[in-house]
Amino acid sequence: MKSLRTLNAIGDTKNEKSKRKIVVDEDVIKALSLNKETQAKIIQQLGNAYYNQDFIFAKTERHPGYPIVIKMVQLRMARLLAIAKLNPDLTPHSLRHTHTPLLAAADIALEQIIDRLGHSDDQITKNVYLHVTKEMKKEASQKFAQLMRSLDYDPLC
């Protein structure tokens, strides 16, 4: 295991498709800007003691400036889920899995979802997308039938 003192670079992405730019809304931009301002204050206080490699989510205490380890995010999420009495099996990766069906339900084109998620195998996205869109079609049919019943519509007349 490498110590923090000998670590010169953080590993590369999983694959080439993992490197991508995505469009985010103003609320995300504001949150990231606030985070950047907080980091700037810490960098100003710590100077060279801060490992400044411009990480978005960096430690502020022990080994300041190094990226937050995913295990710490998982532990914090588990604690917050327990406090909120929500499903304790959820993980940060669960949020990514939720992202796909929400985009599909919002009628976002399959190509845009694939691009946004950066899946190396488009079939992963397609399977989720097609499942969601099938459910949406079924729901649309049920809603239409309910609407017709509420109008006292008799299709045999």
Residues 39-93 pLDDT 10s: 999 999 999 899 988 888 899 888 999 999 889 999 999 999 999 999 999 998 8
- Residue 103: count other Cβ atoms within 10 Å of its Cβ: 20
- Give, for 132, the enclosing helix (H) or strand (E): helix 122-150
Phi, psi dihedral angles at 77 (to 5 degrees): -65, -40
Please report the pLDDT score of residue 60 as a whole number. Answer: 87
User: Is it the case that residue 2 has pLDDT exceeding 50?
Assistant: no
User: Is it the case that residue 157 has pLDDT exceeding 50?
Assistant: yes
- Cβ proximity of 64 and 49 under 8 Å: yes
Residues 6+ apart with CB under 8 A from 49: 64
Q: What is the mean pLDDT of residues 10-39?
A: 82
Q: For residues 12 and 63, which has the higher predicted lDDT (pLDDT)?
A: 63
* pTM more than 0.75: no
Residue ranges per domain, the chain? Answer: 90-151
Mean of pLDDT over the chain? 81
Rounded to whole angstroms, the Cα distance separating 17 from 120 reads 6
Rounded to whole angstroms, the Cα distance separating 47 from 83 reads 36
